[in-house]
Amino acid sequence: MLTYILRRLLLIIPTLFGILLINFIIIQAAPGGPVEQMIAKLEGFEGATSRIAGGGAEVAVAGSNYRGAQGLDPELVHEIERMYGFDKPAPERFWLMLKSYSQLDFGESFFRDAKVTDLIIEKMPVSISIGLWSTLIMYLVSIPLGIAKATRHGSTFDVWTSSAIIVGYAVPAFLFAILLIVLFAGGSYFDWFPLRGLTSNNFDELSLGGKVLDYFWHLVLPVTALVIGNFATLTFLTKNSFLDEINKQYVVTARAKGLTETRVLYGHVFRNAMLLIIAGFPAAFIGIFFTGSLLIEVIFSLDGLGLMSFEAAINRDYPVVFGTLFIFTLVGLIVKLIGDITYTLVDPRIDFENREG
């Protein structure tokens, strides 16, 4: 097992390199970079990105490769290039980025006047709050529901709950978010929950109990929208896992010995059926933490990692784009390894080395 872990850790290095290289090449080909945007701003144009991407006359400034710089001093254009690091060729910029990333130095944002690491730390509590509570509630709902559906397979309860789950799965989470706002956040009916932010403006003035209530009060709608839109897969996975185990020979033998259905279900079936579900918890949490809450953050005005990454991509804030890409990819690969290790903790009979052999 130790050899397997070391091999997986070593494979993280080329995987990270490949992902960063592919995205770096794509970014270089995309129009409307930070230099072009700054040139357009200095010339007083609005809609810089669309104008630059849409074409126009080639640059008349000597030594510059950017459109829209006809009226600027060449020295100023070169200074802008130097300020954003574009005075160096692309291979050299990529090498310098890898060198700084190996030291966990992700540079500073082009437009936010802060270090990328500080920005990530600042935005992380919002994303962790949404991801953690959504994942926990999703597991607390999906596992009991999946077990109930497995034990009542084919019944009216199973049919109706499956229909409701499929509807919840088919409708995107952001549509549920909009519906919740219309119904419960002052849209057209009730005004029971806040529409924006993770805390109220007077949060610091509240008592400890008031802060806790205020925090969860703001989380009700975004977490509900995420749970409704994401719990279907886990519910059906739980049901199918239990159905598969219930029909095995050892369950028939346990029943023949006179054990009660509860003892058979939770004493024999539960451990084997929960293998896939428990091992998938880290990946499920990271999935919602990093990717599932982007539109939810936008709709409920939650300033988290998803919203920050989206704005960085739109504004071509390359240090934030690549810094978050590096961290998200690294965490994702490590969590994938943790998920594999979790399999062996849940069921010691699993041996990856023997399987590969």
CA distance 75 to 282: 51
Indicate if 65 and 89 belong to the same structural domain.
yes
Q: How many CA atoms lie within 13 A of 198 on its CB side?
A: 14
For the record, the structure tokens of 55 come out as: 């074409």
For the record, the structure tokens of 39 come out as: 């040139």
- Strand-pairing partners, residue 185, are 191
Last residue of a domain, one of 43, 76, 105: 105
Q: What is the tally of structural domains in the chain?
A: 2
CA distance 84 to 34: 7
Rg (C-alpha) for the chain, rounded Å, is 26
CA distance 74 to 48: 19
User: Is 328 a domain residue?
Assistant: yes
What's CA 90's distance to the chain center, in Å? 29
Indicate if 120 and 245 belong to the same structural domain.
yes
Indicate if 100 and 147 belong to the same structural domain.
no
CATH code at position 258 = 1.10.3720.10
Among 48, 101, 152, smallest CA distance to 324 is for 101
CA distance 183 to 106: 42
Indicate if 78 and 121 belong to the same structural domain.
no
Chain position carrying tokens 């600027």:
72
Indicate if 172 and 302 belong to the same structural domain.
yes
Instruction: Give, in order, the Cα–Cα distances in Å from 323 to each of 78, 94, 205.
Output: 25, 13, 35
User: Is 21 a domain residue?
Assistant: no
Among 326, 318, 322, smallest CA distance to 110 is for 318
User: Is 263 a domain residue?
Assistant: yes
For the record, the structure tokens of 132 come out as: 């953690």
Helix (H, G, I), strand (E, B) or coil at 248: coil
Q: What string of pLDDT tens digits covers the 357 residues of the chain? A: 778 888 888 888 899 899 989 988 887 777 777 777 677 766 665 444 433 334 333 333 444 455 445 556 677 767 767 777 777 788 888 888 888 888 888 888 887 878 888 888 888 888 888 888 888 888 888 888 988 898 888 889 989 999 988 888 888 888 888 888 888 887 677 888 887 778 888 888 888 888 889 888 988 888 888 888 778 888 888 888 888 888 788 888 888 888 777 888 877 787 777 776 776 676 666 666 655 567 788 888 888 887 888 888 888 888 888 888 888 888 878 877 887 777 777 666 666 665 544
With contact defined as beta carbons under 8 Å apart, do 134 and 223 qualify? yes
CB atoms within 10 A of CB 162: 15
Last residue of a domain, one of 51, 72, 105: 105
CA distance 343 to 355: 13
Residue 288's pLDDT is what? 64
Residue 289's pLDDT is what? 61
The range of the structural domain enclosing residue 137 comes to 116-356
DSSP 204: G
CA distance 320 to 313: 8
With contact defined as beta carbons under 8 Å apart, do 281 and 78 qualify? no
Chain position carrying tokens 């058979």:
264
For the record, the structure tokens of 15 come out as: 């995987």
Q: Each residue of 55-74: b (16+ CB within 10 Å) or e?
A: eeeebebeebebbbbeebee
| pTM value surpassing 0.75 | no
User: Is 10 a domain residue?
Assistant: no
Last residue of a domain, one of 55, 72, 105: 105
Q: Report the residue count for the chain.
A: 357
Residue 243's pLDDT is what? 86
Indicate if 58 and 195 belong to the same structural domain.
no
CA distance 301 to 198: 9
User: Is 111 a domain residue?
Assistant: no
DSSP 303: -
